[in-house]
Structure formats: C-alpha cells, structure tokens
Structure 1
Amino acid sequence: MSNYEAVRDSVILHQGRLKDLYQRVFVVSAYGGMTDLLLESKHTGRPGVYALFANADEDQDWRDALTAVRQKMTEINRDLFADRNDLVRAETFIGERLDDAERCLSDLQSLCAHGHFELDAHLLTVREMLASLGEAHSAWNTAELLKRDGINARFLDLSGWNAEKHYSLDEHIKRALADVDLSCELPIATGYAHSQDGLMSSYDRGYSEITFSRIAVLTHAREAIIHKEYHLSSADPRLAGADNVVPIGRTNYDVADQLSNLGMEAIHPRAAKGLRQSDIPLRVKNTFEPEHSGTLITRDYVSETPRVEIIAGRRDVYAVECFDQEMSGFIATYDSELLKATQRFKAGIVTKDINANTITHYLSTNLKTVKRIRAVIEERFPECEIQVRKVAVVSAIGSDMKIPGMLSRAVGALAESGISILAMHQSMRQVDMQFILDIADYENAVRSLHKHLVEVHDHGEAICAA
C-alpha cells in the first residue's frame, strides 16, 4: 500500500482496457507498520497506542504514541499528495478521526477512574477503533488518488465510524454495497469492517482478510485475488536462493491452511473457509510482476503426480514437554487441561506429540506466555515434570505426497547435512511432513529439503502453472 504507483499501474490498471477497470472491489490494508504503531508490533511486541493505553497508569505514554501515529500519517500524506488542496483534504480527513479517537480514549480513561467502571470491559472496542484508523487512512487516500488519476473510485468506509446502529458483518457489507454501481464505480474498502460481534475477538489482526473473504462471498465473486510483495514460492528465496525457488502455480485450500499454521499465511484459515465453501478460487499475485499468473488456490486441486510443493517452517516455536508417570491411562484428562491452558493465553499450537506418559505442545507464542502456561500446568499437576525448549519446525508440504520413500528421502537429506531431528510427524493424509529441529539448523534444513525434494525436478517457471 505504501507504493501507490505500483498498486495503480500493476493492480488497478494492469488489464489495460477501460471495461476491465470496474466490476471489482478492492479491500486495502493499512500502510506498512501503521497497525504496529496503533496496536503493538506484530514481531517484537513493542507497544503501540493500544498496548500503552491498556497498561499505563499515566496517560502521557499513549498520547505520545498517538502523536507519533499522527506524524507518520502526515509524512505519508505529504509523500502522496503534491497538490496543496489535496493534502489539506487528506490531513483534515484523518486528523478529525485521530482527534475523535483521542477524545474517546481520554473520556474512557476518566470514566474508568471511578470504581463502577472497568477498563477491561472496553478494551476490545478500543482495539478495534484504533485498528480501523489505519485502514481508513489508506483506503481514503487510495480512492482520492485514483480519482485524481481519472478513475471513478469510491471510498467504501466499513469502519462503522460514528455509526448509529450496529449490524452483523454480512449485513453491514451488504448495506455499504447496496447503492454502489460496480459497472462504473471502483469501491476501495477498508480492511477493517465493524460488526456488532466484533472481528478482533475472533480474528485479531487477520480481520482484513475476513472482510476480503466476506465481500467476495456476498458479491458472488468469480475470483478473489490477494496481491503481495512476493510470489507464493516453493521456499523462502532468502534461504533457498532466489534462483532456486519457483512459484507454486496451483494448490488447494488444505495446503494454504498448513502454511497458515506455520505463520506463512496465503490467507487466514477462517477467511479461506468462506471462499472454499462458496467454491471461489483464490489467486495470490506478486504486485511487482503483474504479467505472472501467480498461484491459484482452489478447493479440489490435487497435483497430477505426487510431489512436494513447498518447504516452509518457523523458528519461533516453544516446545513445552510435560512428563508425568501418572499420565498413562489418563491422557485425555491431561491433554484437556493442557489445551485449556494454551487457549486461555491464546498461544497457537503448531503441532504436538503424545505417548504413554508425555505430551509435548509446540507453541507459536512468546516466552512470557509460555511461562504463564507452565505455571498453570504446574499448579494443576504438581508432579508433572515440565521442560521448555525453543525449537524450529520445518515442513515439506504438498497437495499429494503419497510417494513411497518420501519420508526416508527427507530424513536422508537432513542427515546428509548433519542435522539431528528432535521429533518428526507425518499424518495419514500425507499432505505434510514436519521436522522438529534445533534453531541453529533451521536455515540449513530449509535449503537441504528444498534441494533434495523440489529442485531435483526442475519445474521451470512454476510448479503446475495457473
């Protein structure tokens, strides 16, 4: 979103014919880094306006953070709008919203200083309000810039700002689109959409893809397209080498879910569900290579020949191993309690091991959360021996990997590179193989598996072109 010219030329105008400009709806995200400033950093956890407001005893910290947001938005506006009048209008639009948000936070803070009101009861609403500012900023700007460039764009504000009545997500979208003429108007919709139930309680920062998915479903879209800064490729080019990786031309929603589980989201699993149920294909394209057809994700695709399509993984995983001699025969009880603790603190489960007296959960979360989970488990099962270790998970994934000897080839590739496997998983459906490794072996493992399982087939420009 930060590169308007690339979005305009490669995405909006790429078709080249006026009749192809319309009959589309664009859902936009906030500018890069903006949601981190408004909420908290997705990668480092550094607090933004929301986190400071939720945890501060004094209000100056969150006010300073909101000032930083305002300054960043102003910088972006100045880069985008050369005309003075256009810049003033842009500043006025987002300035009014920031002023409203600051007054709202200040009033809420004052109200909750009284004993009858609890701040915690309102924090989710605060989080949604702040998140919406980023998408409103980028969507309004994009619509105005497109209008300046001769396109009949329309800012479609789904944020619910100053809404007098609350609706369900679907009803809200339907009402917003009711008077839009898609034959001659190009709606630029906010990635955040307000609803009476709230999006962030279920999807947190995956809300823009939920909005995207519901618009596609409700408009009976022929195809849903996500534009990214890179191709959905057979591995991370920074690890396996840009000359070695190849775009994945075709795959299915099952594979997309496996990637999401590893933190490499093509689309949020709950967003994919709506597209899958409505049999709407999803295409993932590289914004900077508009001529490339990208990756087409469909419900029923299975590769004609069994093969590995992608090597993916994550290194920010905590293995929480729980051993108790009394567990044997009571696995269900222990597992239920461990899952409750994990869900309570909203830690993502990448995978898990179970044997007679040991359960190990591999969690995508931070150390602070792991310590909280550990404390709950120790209180519930005092005799349980708990070991925590940070590990990496590397997976070989494909729509069909039912090849005799595939697992042995993967294990052999890792052994050849001197990599020790800490744990290993392969489901009967054989759509992925997961290897638990020492973090130091992560990059080497990705390169080795990609070399032996993907590169040997010399797929050309894409693995099954879309």
Structure 2
Amino acid sequence: MAGASDGALAVVNWSTHPAEKDYEVNLLRNREPSAHTVEKIGGTSISNTAAVLENVLIGGRKGSALYNRIFVVSAYSGMTDRLLEHKKTGKPGAYARFAGARSRSGLVEAIAEVHREMRRINAEVFGRSPERRVADDFVRDRIEGVCGCLLDLQRLCSYGHFRLEEHLNTVREVLAAQGEAHSSHNTALLLRTLGVEAIFVDMTGWRDEAEISLDERIETALSAIDLGKQLPIITGYSRCPGGLVQFYGRGYTEFTFARIAVLTGAKEAIIHKEYHLSTADPKIVGIERVRTIGHTNYDVADQLSNLEVEAIHPAAAKELRHANIPLRFKNTFEPGDEGTVITRDYVSDTPQAEIITGLRGVYALEFFEQDMVGVNGYDLEILKKLKGYDVRVVTKASNANTITYYLAAAPDVIAPVVQGLEEGFPTADIIAKRVSIVSAIGSDLNLQRLTATAVQALTAACIEILGVHQLMRNVDIIFIVDESRFDDAVRALHRALIEDSRLPLAAQPSSGVER
C-alpha cells in the first residue's frame, strides 16, 4: 500500500476489492476487538491544517502510536456551501445554480468558482512543495469530470423525452461528494509527506458503475487495510443506493462516521470540532461562565438534535447508541482537554441541569376548535396536513380544545400552512406567532424546586413565560418566551441552574455549543 515513487497517493477504492457474495461483516477479524477508534474531523477544524496536524493527527505520536485510528474527514469549511447552497442563508452554490438557472454559462462559472477555491486551499496547505501539483491534478480531474457530466446531462435534458428534475438528487450527491474527496485526499497526501503511512480511502464511488450498499462499500474499502500499520483517511461522503444527502441532509458525514464505527467495532467514536460541548453558547453567556459538560448520555444528545444544536445527527447517534459505542466530543484547539463523553446509560450522580440551549424563531401554531373535545384522532388529521409542508414539529402542547404546535420552518412557509389548515378545518381558529424555545436539559433533572427556580429566574429577569413543557422522564424542561428574549432567557437560566449551583466549576472551555 505504499505510495508510488512519483508522488502519487496510495488509494483504496472499493472497486479494486470487489465484495464476495458470502462476505462476512468482520473487518478486523485478525485483530483484537475494540483496539481502535474512529474519529471525525469537522470542516472548520480540517481547514486549520497546522492545528489538526499538531493536535489530532500527529502531535507527539511516533511509531505505532500513530495508528489504530480511522479518520473520517469533512469538507473544508464553506466548501459544501459552495457546492450545494449555504447551509444557513440559502445562498445558491453550484447545485442550486444548476437546478435553478439551468444555463450553460451559469453552471460553468459556478463550477469554476469551486475549482478556484479548491486550488486556493491546496496552495495554502502545500505551498510550493511538489505535492501541490498532485493535489491540483486531483481536483482538476474531479471538477472537469463533474462539469462535463453535468453539461452532458443538461444537453440531454434539452430534449423533451428527458426530465432534468428526475436527476437532480443524483446531481446533488455527485457535487456534495467532491468536498470530502478534496479534503481527505489532501489530508492523506500531507501525512505521507510527514512519514505517516496514510491511505486515502475514496468511498465516493467516483466513476464506478456498480451500485452497492453503504455497508458493503465500507467493508470492501477497509478490508485491505492493516490498522496497526496504516492510517486510513476516509471520505465523509460515501455513495450508496438512494443517496446519503437525500437520507441525512448535511449530516451525511456523521452518519458515515458512525456506521464505520459500528461495522468495525470501534472502542470509541470521537468528533473533533472547533468548540467544546458546553453548558451554553459562550457567545450568549460569556466564555468565562460556561463549562465543558464532561459526561452525558444519548438521551440528552437527542434533545440537542431536536433543538438543532450542532452536536451529532440523530441517525448517527442512534447507530452508536445501539452498538453501545461511547461518543467523545473534543475541541481541536485544546487537545489536553478530555472533552465530553456521551454514553448510553450515564446518569449524573447529582440531579442537575447540564446544558441551557434552545431554538430561535420558532412558530407557535395555535389550533383552536371548540368541537375537538372528546374526538379521537383530531391531532392525527392536523399532522397529515402539516406533512405536506416543509415544517418540523419541535414540540407541542394540548388541552381539551386547543393544540399548539411549535414549528421550525422558513417564514415564507407559514402562511401557506395556515391557509391549508383553514381550508381543511373551516370552523377552527388558527393563529401563528414567532416565539423562542429555551430548554434546560440534563441526564437527571429530578431535582426538587428546579422548575420553580427556573421560573423565578425568568420572572426576575422580567421575561414573560408563554408556556412550560415538562415530562415525567426529567430530561428536559422547555420554556416558551418572546422571540426577542431568547438571549436573556438563556443567560437567566444558565446563571440560576448552572452557575449558581453548588457543583464545582470544570475547566473553562474556549468555545461552546455552536448554532
């Protein structure tokens, strides 16, 4: 598996090791169980090459200490935004411009912008070294291939018998894959220049014709690698039937990472990001006030995902939870900190709030129908209507004749939702109002007077409480407040439930929950 003498990078592609029909799922059958970790490097972290090399990939490791690790790499920060569309603002990237404008010149320019950015990153990573040419040749081959493919598709669909809409999901998958291919190839190439036996594992399905499952692709790619002597650097995107982006959105890298950990029986899954998993967002509360959570469970992780906190995709968490694999969050820029470990069965020794977070700009959709009382299935009929719109129910509350849904949705979606419900339920009164959700979350909130303390803290801060939701499982308490009071509510609850608690402060993190 050593690199070629001309500087070309050793590559493992599943197609060079076709799966046998009776292939057994046991990638590490010749090794001791649970001898390795599977680690994911986030986009912002991998963009800081020097820090990742020093703090994650190499650091003070030598010899065998460099190995028994599998790395799954995200695209460089902002690259997937350029390839698809901006995750938060929706600014069109290459995909959005291709699907929308559908002009030849627009597509060529969009792809050219991506190519220029990739080459700029290559120059930043490799400088004037010979490896820069290898990196540039790699992205040129990918970008020219993608551009040619899309132009051919565009031309084909100019005839009436072919519909471009039928191929857009595939186009999205192909474009997304190029970000992870770029960053993973660069990372493996750079490591090899430093004497590490790194292997670029390309699972994007580039130019292969077979259609195999994600598990088969992982199995065939890793079966040829000796983890004790080689360091696999794997693309965060993997081609599979139906498409990872289609199934998991922008969380596809995390699902790939989790599935690799499960299939290889990792002793621990680790996510390296540019922030700690902290008790609140330090941009709101202040860096001097937050602390690293340290230890929690997958139930808490689910609550964070529901509030769109960028910890881990719920499907990825589910994979790790079912396999009973611990998940560790580490701050790339503080390698000495052990970070936060998430396990299946952890419960804090003392009942306490572990994190204060929430969701801004949620729509409270209040559905009042006097005749609802005593009628079974009313909620189901409303949900059927909501399913036809691009909305997500974050939480809900109800009484005899009123159901309030708290919806995460774009502003331009809500008016059609209300109109559709009014047409389906002409006797109902339906109103929508923007609010914020603020939540105290912990593995054990079964603490006397915790709810009362939280209510007093919000009242003392002159914050009107529009609603309170608390389940008997004692994992979270949700407060509905005015949209403009989100930051104030987070600060008030963090001060009352975490800062003023009698528990000693942990090491101060450099950053916190990212929104």
Alignment TM class, shorter chain as reference? over 0.9
Q: CA deviation at 1:110?
A: 1.9
Cα distance in structure 1, aligned partners of 2:165 and 2:374: 41
Q: Is the 8 A contact 1:39 1:127 kept in 2?
A: yes
Partner of 1:309: 354
Do residues 382 (structure 1) and 426 (structure 2) align?
Answer: yes
Match of 2:438 among 394, 400, 413: 394
Counterpart CA distance in 1 for 2:460 and 2:364 is: 25
- For the residues of structure 1 that align with 2:111 and 2:311, how far apart are their CA atoms? 31
1:100 positional shift: 1.2
Q: What is the alpha-carbon distance in structure 2 between the residues aligned to residue 372 and residue 339 of structure 1?
A: 15
Worse overlay, 428-437 or 356-365: 356-365
Cα deviations by residue, 1:404-462 (Å, 9 ceiling, x for unpaired): 21111111100000000111101110100011111211111111100000011243225
Q: Separation in 2 of the partners of 1:446 and 1:396?
A: 9
Tell me the equivalent position of 1:427: 471
Which residue, 48, 58, 65 being the options, matches 2:93? 48
CA contact (8 A) 1:168 1:197 kept: no
Q: Secondary structure at the match of 1:434?
A: strand
Aligned with 1:367 (options 403, 411, 419): 411
Asked whether the equivalents of residues 48 and 62 of structure 1 are also in contact (C-alpha less than 8 Å), the reply is no
Letter paired with 2:113: A
Which position in structure 2 is the counterpart of 1:19? 64
Query: Is 1:451 matched up with 2:498?
Result: no
Select which of 137, 140, 155 maps to 1:110: 155
Task: Give, in whole Å, the separation in 2 of the partners of 1:344 and 1:462.
Answer: 47
Instruction: Please state how far the C-alpha of 1:117 moved relative to its aligned partner.
Output: 2.0
**CA apart distance, 1:331:** 5.6
- 2:309 is aligned with what amino acid? M
> What secondary structure is seen at the aligned counterpart in 1 of 2:69?
coil
1:70 aligns with: 115
CA distance in 2, matches of 1:371, 1:70: 40
Moved more, 324-333 or 92-101: 324-333
Relative to the length of structure 1, the TM-score reads 0.95
Partner of 2:304: 259
Quote the Cα distance in structure 2 between the aligned partners of 1:161 and 1:30. Answer: 16
Contact 2:296 2:341 in 1 (8 A): yes
Superposition RMSD on alpha carbons, in Å? 1.6
CA shift, 1:56, in A, is: 2.0
Distance 1:148-1:338 versus aligned 2 partners, 3 A rule: farther
Counterparts of residues 137-176 of structure 1 (less than 5 Å): 137-176=182-221
In the TM superposition, 1:337-376 aligns within 5 A as 337-376=381-420
Q: Match of 1:270, SS?
A: helix
**Per-residue CA shift, 1:330-381, capped at 9, x if unaligned?**
4623x22332343333422211122222222212221123234333323322
Give the letter for the 2:50 counterpart. E
- Counterpart of 2:448 in structure 1 is 404
Alignment of 1:192-207 (within 5 A): 192-207=237-252
Number of corresponding residues: 462
1:270 to 288, 293, 315: 315
| Runs of 4+ off more than 4 Å | none
Q: 2:426 aligns to what SS in structure 1?
A: coil
Distance 1:115 1:322, change over 3 A: farther
Q: Secondary structure at the match of 1:318?
A: strand
Residue 83, structure 1, aligned to residue 139, structure 2: no
Q: What is residue 11 of structure 2 aligned with on the other side?
A: none
Which residue is equivalent to 1:293?
Answer: 338
- 1:81 deviates by 1.2
Cα pair distance change 1:73/1:380, threshold 3 Å: same
Among all aligned residue pairs of Structure 1 and Structure 2, give the percentage whose two residues are the same amino acid. 50
* Corresponding residue number in structure 2 for 1:413: 457
Deviations along 1:178-209, whole A, 9 cap, x unmatched? 11111111111111111123212221111000
Residues 224 and 327 of structure 1, relative CA distance in 2, 3 Å threshold: same
Higher relative contact order (CA 8 A, sep 6+): 2
TM-score, normalised relative to structure 2: 0.87
The AA in structure 2 aligned to 1:423 is: G
- Segment of structure 1 superposing worse, 392-401 or 188-197: 188-197
Specify the code of the residue in structure 2 equivalent to 1:212: F
- Structure 1 residue 157, shift from structure 2 partner: 0.6
Q: Deviations over 1:98-152 (max 9, x none)?
A: 1111112112222222222222221111111110011111000111111111111
What is the CA-CA distance between 1:320 and the residue it aligns to? 2.0
Shift in alpha-carbon separation, 1:63–1:362, aligned structure 2, 3 A: farther
Find the aligned partners of 2:263 and 2:381 in 1 and give their Cα distance: 39
Cα distance, 1:15 vs structure 2? 5.6
Map of 1:213 onto structure 2: 258
Structure 1 position 84, deviation (Å):
4.8
Q: CA separation of 1:129/1:154 partners in 2, compared to 1, >3 Å: closer, same or farther?
A: same
Unmatched 5+ stretches in structure 1: none
Q: Secondary structure at the match of 1:433?
A: strand
Query: Among residues 274, 278, 284, which one is paired with 2:329 in the alignment?
Result: 284
Q: Which amino acid aligns with 1:309?
A: E
Unaligned runs of 5+ in 2: 1-45, 509-515
Go from structure 1 to structure 2 and tell me whether the alpha carbon gap of 1:429 and 1:98 turns closer, same or farther (over 3 Å shift): same
- 1:239·1:443 contact (CA, 8 Å) conserved in 2? yes
